[in-house]
Structure 1
Amino acid sequence: MTKCRVFGIDDGLKEVVADGLYMKHLFGKQISVSVVKFVEKVGHDLPAKAHVHGEEASLQLVGGCTVFEGLGQEGDAAVPMAAHSAMIIPAQLSHYGSNHFGAQGVSMRLNVVTPPRPEFGPEDSVPYYPLKNRVERS
């Protein structure tokens, strides 16, 4: 029998970039859930590269971010998200982001994507994140 799974938002995050990016991810049959926590010390120097995937619901928990719609070029449409706001990103819309840090020096979001994002890797591994100079997992 399938059971509900409960997880702590800021517990058990894996280090992706020391002093800059911490994450965890979980998978359901039709969705993936990830917590993404940027820490200002190094996190302000970690730009994301434009990427596409299924439909995404994103909730900005702490700090803020700007989501850019496009391929990473000058003039891409900017959509700001403050703490406690959410957005829906349509499936296959190319996007990337820039973080704004709160008083705690953190920018943290909860992202839910359908279908699941297999490039994150297995749940017990360090998650993949589309940083600007990183090669994408297949």
Structure 2
Amino acid sequence: MSCNIGEAAKASGVSEKMIRHYESIGLLRPAREANGYRRYGEGDIAVLRFIRHARDLAFPLEEVRRLLTLWQDRGRASAEVRAIALSHVAALEEKADSLRRMAESLRHLAAHCHGDARPDCPILDGLEGKTP
């Protein structure tokens, strides 16, 4: 099977723009025809699906690159893959905690806002750095 970029996008769930981007940063190396058009084989589609799934789990591109290299190395040790995954879990949990703290702060500011016709607004004051 060999297909063009539009067909590869449909088959993988990755947009054409992102396919071009992944190629530009070296995550993907599709074959080129004599006229310069890209041709994507089953292996390329598999790589694109792998990248999409990793990105769906919010892995940064450099981690995707490491995981992709490990995925393609059938002689790899799973310990490194596990370490990358657990490190990413810790980063996600840290981000989730940060988002919870932001939501609590905004909830607190909103609780002190009357939400009526008065011009005073604790939310805007809080964004300015004043405490309600």
TM-score class, shorter-chain normalisation, is: under 0.3
More helix by share: 2
Rg larger in 1 or in 2?
2
TM normalised by structure 1 equals 0.23
The structure with higher relative contact order (CA 8 Å, sep 6+) is 1
